[in-house]
C-alpha cells in the first residue's frame, strides 16, 4: 500500500516537485496514522472479546449509572442489548484473520438469531426500533458474507433477518422515517421520524433489498425522500422529519454545529441509495464537504462527549452523537479513494484514538453497561472501514 502511494507520488513529481514533496509527507503521515489505527482496533477488539456475555450478547441493564434510573423498563433494555450486539457484529464482520474475533462474531450472530423477538417497549417508548435497525443491518450484512452462506446459521440469519425487516417496516412513520419515541400520539405506526435513524434504516434496507428479502416497494422510496426532505441548504439535516424543515439560527440543533453526526449517516445513506439506483442529491462532493464540516466543527462533539445529560452541550449536542457520527464518517471517507481520504484519515484516527481507555474501550455517554460496547464498536468500525481505502 505504501509502495503504491510512493509510486503515485513519484508520478506526480515529474509534473510538480512541490506536489511530490507534499504527497510524500502525507503518505508518510498516513502510514503512521494507519499503524496507530491498527493499535486502536486491536485494543478495541480485545475489549469487545473480553466483555461478551455468555449468551453471545454485549452489554445489559447492569451497572446502571446515575441518570439511568426512572424511565426505562425491561423491554427497553432488551432492545438496547439487541441493538448493541448487532452493532458489535457489524464491526466484527470487518475483521479478518482473527480467530477469537470470529468466535465472538459467531456468538453474537447466534444471539441475534435466537433471542426473543423485541416488542414495542411501551405506549410512548419505541426504542425497540433501535433493535430492528441494527439487528437487520447486522443480519443482512451477515447474509451477504460468504462465511455464513451455508448451514443452520445461514437459515437462522435469513429467517430472523426477514422477521426484523417486517418489524422495522411496520414502524415506518407516515412521514417515511423512523423514530424511537411516540409520545405525541401513541399510534401504530408511530408518528415521529428522525433523519439519522432513517439513515441507519435505509442502509439496512438497501442490503435487504439486494438480498431479495420481501418488502413493500414504497418503503425505501419514502424513507429516502424523508432524509432528502431533512437536508438543509447548509449541508446539515434536521433532527426530526418535519413538514417544513427550517434551518435553526443561534443555539438551535438544526444547523451544521448540531448536525455533525447526522450529516455523516444521512449523506452516506443517500449516497448508497444513489448507487442502488435511487435518485438522490448526494454525490462524492457532498460526502467530502460533509466530512470537512465534521472536522472543522469537531470541537462541538468534543465538548458534548461524556456529558451525562442528553442534549446538554452547545447546539443540543449529546454525548452519544460522538461515535455514531464518526462511524459513518469512516464509510464516507473510504469512498473518497486514497487521495481524497488522506485529507481526513489522520483526523478520524486521532479523534477516535484519543478516546480509547487502557482497557481498549471507548465511551461517549454513560448508559448502563451499553456505553462502552457501542462506543468501542462504532470506534473500531469507523477505523476498519477507513482502513480499507489504504488496503491494497
Q: Report the nearest approach of another protein to the CB of residue 61 (Å).
A: 17
How far is it, in rounded angstroms, from Cα 345 to Cα 330? 8
Q: Report the nearest approach of another protein to the CB of residue 60 (Å).
A: 17
Q: Report the nearest approach of another protein to the CB of residue 268 (Å).
A: 27
* Cell numbers linked to 6: 510512493
Q: Report the nearest approach of another protein to the CB of residue 68 (Å).
A: 11
How far is it, in rounded angstroms, from Cα 14 to Cα 273? 39
356 is a contact residue toward another protein (CB under 8 A): yes
Q: What does the longest C-alpha to C-alpha distance in the chain come to? A: 67
Q: Report the nearest approach of another protein to the CB of residue 100 (Å).
A: 24
How far is it, in rounded angstroms, from Cα 280 to Cα 273? 7
Q: Which of residues 21-50 bind another protein (CB under 8 A)?
A: none
Q: Report the nearest approach of another protein to the CB of residue 35 (Å).
A: 21
Q: Report the nearest approach of another protein to the CB of residue 125 (Å).
A: 24
Q: How many residues bind another protein (CB under 8 A)?
A: 16
The residue count for the chain: 392
Unique residue bearing C-alpha cell 445461514: 154
Nearer to another protein, 98 or 307 (CB): 307
Which H or E run includes 197? helix 195-211
Q: Which residues of 301-316 are buried (b: 16+ CB within 10 A; e: fewer)?
A: beebbebeebbebebb
Nearer to another protein, 344 or 365 (CB): 365
Nearer to another protein, 82 or 365 (CB): 365
| Interaxial angle between packed helices 17-50 and 337-353, expressed in degrees from 0 to 180 and rounded to the nearest 10 | 50
DSSP string, 24-82: HHHHHHHHHHHHHHHHHHHHHHHHHHHT--TTS----S-S--TTS-SS--HHHHHHHHH
Nearer to another protein, 71 or 309 (CB): 309
357 is a contact residue toward another protein (CB under 8 A): yes
Q: Are 256 and 234 in contact (CB under 8 A)?
A: yes
Of 33-41, 106-114, 154-162, 350-358, the segment contacting another protein by CB under 8 A is 350-358
Q: Report the nearest approach of another protein to the CB of residue 363 (Å).
A: 5
Nearer to another protein, 9 or 313 (CB): 313
Give the x/- contact pattern for another protein in 50-89, rule: CB under 8 A: ---------------xx-----------------------
Q: Report the nearest approach of another protein to the CB of residue 78 (Å).
A: 24
Q: Report the nearest approach of another protein to the CB of residue 365 (Å).
A: 10
How far is it, in rounded angstroms, from Cα 148 to Cα 268? 26
Nearest to 269 by CA among 328, 194, 320: 328
Nearer to another protein, 100 or 299 (CB): 299
∠ CA(146), CA(149), CA(154), 5° rounding? Answer: 140
* First-residue to last-residue Cα distance in the chain: 5
Of 30-38, 94-102, 161-169, 352-360, the segment contacting another protein by CB under 8 A is 352-360
Q: Which of residues 280-339 bind another protein (CB under 8 A)?
A: 302-303, 305-308
Q: Are 41 and 19 in contact (CB under 8 A)?
A: no
369 is a contact residue toward another protein (CB under 8 A): no
Nearer to another protein, 58 or 268 (CB): 58
Q: Tell me the Ramachandran region of residue 142: left when phi exceeds 0, alpha when psi lies from -120 to 50, beta otherwise.
A: alpha
Among 156, 347, 363, 386, binds another protein (CB under 8 A): 363
255 is a contact residue toward another protein (CB under 8 A): no
Of 52-60, 151-159, 276-284, 360-368, the segment contacting another protein by CB under 8 A is 360-368
355 is a contact residue toward another protein (CB under 8 A): yes
Binding site for another protein (CB under 8 A): 65-66, 302-303, 305-308, 355-358, 361, 363, 366, 372
Amino acid at each position: 500500500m505504501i509502495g503504491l502511494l510512493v509510486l503515485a507520488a513519484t508520478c506526480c513529481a515529474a509534473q510538480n516537485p512541490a506536489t511530490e514533496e507534499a504527497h510524500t509527507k502525507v503518505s508518510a503521515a498516513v502510514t503512521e496514522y494507519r499503524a496507530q489505527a491498527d493499535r486502536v482496533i486491536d485494543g478495541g477488539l480485545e475489549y469487545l472479546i473480553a466483555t461478551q456475555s455468555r449468551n453471545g450478547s454485549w452489554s445489559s441493564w447492569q451497572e446502571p449509572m446515575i441518570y439511568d434510573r426512572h424511565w426505562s423498563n425491561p423491554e427497553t433494555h432488551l432492545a438496547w442489548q439487541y441493538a448493541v450486539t448487532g452493532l458489535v457484529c457489524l464491526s466484527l464482520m470487518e475483521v479478518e484473520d482473527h480467530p477469537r474475533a470470529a468466535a465472538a462474531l459467531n456468538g453474537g450472530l447466534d444471539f441475534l438469531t435466537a433471542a426473543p423477538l423485541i416488542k414495542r417497549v411501551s405506549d410512548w417508548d419505541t426504542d425497540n426500533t433501535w433493535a430492528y435497525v441494527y439487528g437487520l443491518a447486522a443480519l443482512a450484512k451477515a447474509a451477504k458474507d460468504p462465511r455464513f452462506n451455508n448451514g443452520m446459521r445461514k437459515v437462522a440469519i435469513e429467517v430472523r433477518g426477514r422477521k426484523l425487516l417486517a418489524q422495522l417496516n411496520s414502524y415506518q412513520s407516515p412521514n417515511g422515517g423512523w423514530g424511537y419515541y411516540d409520545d405525541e400520539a401513541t399510534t401504530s405506526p408511530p408518528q415521529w421520524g428522525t433523519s439519522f435513524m432513517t439513515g441507519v434504516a435505509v442502509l439496512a434496507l438497501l442490503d435487504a433489498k439486494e438480498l431479495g428479502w420481501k418488502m413493500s416497494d414504497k418503503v425505501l422510496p419514502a424513507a429516502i425522500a424523508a432524509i432528502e426532505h431533512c437536508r438543509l441548504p447548509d449541508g446539515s439535516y434536521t433532527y426530526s422529519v418535519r413538514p417544513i424543515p427550517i434551518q435553526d439560527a443561534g443555539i438551535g440543533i438544526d444547523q451544521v454545529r448540531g448536525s455533525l453526526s447526522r450529516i455523516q449517516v444521512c449523506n452516506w445513506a443517500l449516497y448508497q441509495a444513489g448507487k442502488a439506483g435511487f435518485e438522490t442529491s448526494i454525490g462524492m462532493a457532498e460526502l467530502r464537504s460533509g466530512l470537512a464540516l465534521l472536522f472543522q466543527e469537531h470541537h462541538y462533539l468534543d465538548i458534548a462527549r461524556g456529558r451525562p445529560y442528553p442534549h446538554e452541550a452547545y447546539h443540543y449536542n449529546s454525548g452519544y452523537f460522538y461515535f455514531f457520527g464518526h462511524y459513518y464518517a469512516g464509510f464516507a471517507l473510504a469512498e473518497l479513494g486514497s487521495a481524497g481520504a488522506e485529507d481526513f484519515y489522520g483526523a478520524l484516527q486521532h479523534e477516535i484514538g484519543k478516546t480509547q481507555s487502557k482497557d481498549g474501550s471507548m465511551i461517549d455517554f454513560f448508559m448502563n453497561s451499553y456505553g462502552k460496547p457501542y462506543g468501542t464498536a462504532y470506534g473500531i468500525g469507523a477505523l476498519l472501514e477507513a482502513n480499507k481505502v489504504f488496503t491494497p
